[in-house]
Amino acid sequence: MTPLFPSVVIDLMGTFVFALSGATLAVRKQLDIFGVLVLAVCVGVAGGITRDLLLGDVPPMALKDTRFLVAALAAGLVVFFASRAIEKLNKPVMLLDAAGLGLFAVSGCDKALEFGLTPLPSVLLGIVTAVGGGVLRDVLVAEVPRVLREDVYALAALLGGLAFVLGLKAGLPELLAMAIAVLLTFVVRVLSVYRGWQAPRAPGS
C-alpha cells in the first residue's frame, strides 16, 4: 500500500503531542529542565519504538530519523517555558494524551498494514503504539498507568484503529480515514473522562 499521506507525518505529530503530555506532567511533578526533557523524549518515542521493534523495523524510526528526537525535545522546551499558559487549559495532560492516543493508534495501524499485516493484528499493534508512551510516562512519575485504571483508554485506541481500517475498506481516501479515526479516538477518550464512562463488565461482577 502506498500511503497518500506519509505516515511519518502522523508519527511526528504523535511524538510531539505525547512529548507535550510527558513534559506537562514533569513540570507538575516539579522536575528540573533535564527531567522535563527526559520525560518528554521517553514518552514521545516509546510507542513508536515498541511498534517498530515488534515489526522488526530496526533500528526504530525514532533512532534513525533525528526529527523525532528534535520534535520531542522541542515539545519539552515549549512546556518548560510556557507551562503556565498550558496549565490554563482544562485537564491539559488528559487532552494532550487523548490527541496522542488517536495519532499513534492510527500511525501504528497504518505502519502494520504497510508491513503486510492483516487488519486485526494491525489494529492491535495500533493499540500498543498508542498506549506505550502513556504507560511509560505514568511509570516514570510513579503513577498507576491510565491504561490499567481508566476503562475507556485502550478501548478508545481500539475504536480508532477499527475506524481507520474500515474507512480504508470502504474506499475512503487515506487522509480522510486517518482524520476520522484520530477524531473518534480523541472524542471517545475525552467524553469518557468527563462523563465517567466505563467498559462493560460481566453480569453480576
Does residue 205 lie within any of the structural domains? no
User: Is residue 47 a contact partner of residue 132, using CB atoms and an 8 Å limit?
Assistant: yes
Report phi then psi at 4, rounded to 5: -75, -25
User: Is residue 17 a contact partner of residue 130, using CB atoms and an 8 Å limit?
Assistant: no
- Rounded-to-integer distance, Cα 14 and Cα 16, Å: 5
Number of domains in the chain: 1
Higher pLDDT, 149 or 2: 149
What range defines the domain where residue 66 resides? 7-195
Query: What single letter denotes the amino acid at residue 125?
Result: L
Residue 6 pLDDT more than 50?
yes
Q: Burial, 5: exposed, middle or buried (Cβ in 10 Å; 0-12, 13-18, 19+)?
A: middle
* Closest to 97 (Cα-Cα) out of 57, 63, 120, 130: 130
What local confidence, expressed as pLDDT, does residue 204 receive?
A: 64
Q: How would residue 3 be classed by pLDDT, with cut points 50, 70 and 90?
A: very low
> Which cell goes with 154?
485502550
Does residue 13 lie within any of the structural domains? yes
Does residue 201 lie within any of the structural domains? no
pLDDT in tens, 140-167: 888 888 777 766 888 999 999 999 999 9
The CB-side HSE value for 61 (13 A sphere, CA atoms) comes to: 22
Does residue 140 lie within any of the structural domains? yes
- Rounded-to-integer distance, Cα 198 and Cα 192, Å: 7
Does residue 2 lie within any of the structural domains? no
Average pLDDT over residues 55-62: 93
Does residue 123 lie within any of the structural domains? yes
Does residue 202 lie within any of the structural domains? no
pLDDT in tens, 100-147: 999 999 999 999 999 999 999 999 999 999 998 888 888 888 888 877
Does residue 74 lie within any of the structural domains? yes
- Rounded-to-integer distance, Cα 77 and Cα 98, Å: 21
